[in-house]
């Protein structure tokens, strides 16, 4: 049976944004879906979030689909980086992923700093999944389109879908369903 793990974003929860909708849609297609409550979502920390994802996944395999939102994408990428060379997952779907951020308050900058400054070997990450897809919005207030799209396409080899007017692709932006996420997840 295919499995999907959905990693929510910063200051969100398993019940927020589009996660319940995507869970229902994937379960209707035969997926076993888990949306873990990530630790301290208002102040996410790399080690705690990656450890929670490792615990949730258990043994990864090519029937595993990982879907992340915002800092959940960073969590997935850092998890993949930690996998042994001969281990990989099936698909990875990154929704509103970031490698740089803008328009943050001072407290948010402090929380984001380790995520932005801790190095990540994206060339290694690319070898740990069969495919990568990303969904970004053309008016995300926090994630600049460039260099994000270039990194996603070039370094990760991701297919990138650009949605019009979806902000940070979250419940706060009114996004509670988005067919492009489902399409990317089921391949």
Q: What is the pLDDT of residues 42-73, one digit of tens each?
A: 999 999 999 999 999 999 999 999 999 999 99
Least Cα distance to 36 among 67, 8, 61 occurs for 8
Whole-prediction pTM value?
0.97
Provide the number of structural domains found in the chain. 1
- Is pLDDT above 90 for 187? no
Q: What is the pLDDT of residue 110?
A: 97
Identify the domain containing residue 60 by its residue range. 3-186
Four-point Cα dihedral 169, 166, 80, 58, nearest 10: 40
CA distance 131 to 56: 21
Q: Is residue 50 within 8 Å of 78, Cβ to Cβ? A: yes
Q: What is the pLDDT of residue 186?
A: 96
- Is pLDDT above 90 for 174? yes
Tell me the three state secondary structure of residue 145. Answer: helix
Q: What is the pLDDT of residue 66?
A: 98
Q: What is the pLDDT of residue 80?
A: 98
Q: What is the pLDDT of residue 9?
A: 97
* 114: CATH: 3.40.50.1820
Confidence of residue 182 (pLDDT cuts 50, 70, 90): very high
DSSP class of residue 186? H
CA distance 57 to 67: 12
pLDDT per residue as tens digits for the range 106-158: 999 999 999 999 999 999 999 999 999 999 999 999 999 999 999 999 999 99
The stretch 30-49 carries a mean pLDDT of 98
Q: Is residue 176 within 8 Å of 21, Cβ to Cβ? A: yes
* Average pLDDT along the chain: 97
């Amino acid at each position: 049976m295919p499995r999907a793990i959905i990693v929510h974003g910063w200051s969100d929860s398993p019940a927020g944004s589009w996660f319940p909708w995507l869970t229902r849609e994937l379960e209707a297609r035969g997926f076993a879906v888990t949306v873990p409550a990530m630790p301290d979502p208002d102040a996410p920390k790399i080690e705690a979030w990656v450890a929670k994802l490792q615990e949730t996944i258990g043994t990864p395999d090519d029937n595993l689909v990982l879907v992340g939102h915002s800092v959940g994408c960073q969590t997935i990428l850092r998890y993949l980086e930690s996998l042994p060379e001969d281990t990989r997952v099936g698909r990875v779907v990154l929704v509103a992923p970031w490698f740089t951020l803008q328009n943050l308050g001072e407290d948010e900058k402090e929380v984001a700093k380790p995520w932005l400054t801790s190095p990540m070997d994206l060339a290694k990450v690319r070898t740990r999944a069969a495919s990568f897809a990303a969904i970004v919005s053309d008016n995300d207030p926090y994630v600049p389109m460039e260099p994000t799209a270039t990194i996603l396409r070039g370094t990760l080899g991701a297919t990138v879908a650009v949605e019009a007017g979806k902000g940070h692709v979250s419940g706060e932006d009114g996004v509670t369903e988005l067919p492009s996420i489902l399409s990317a997840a089921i391949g």
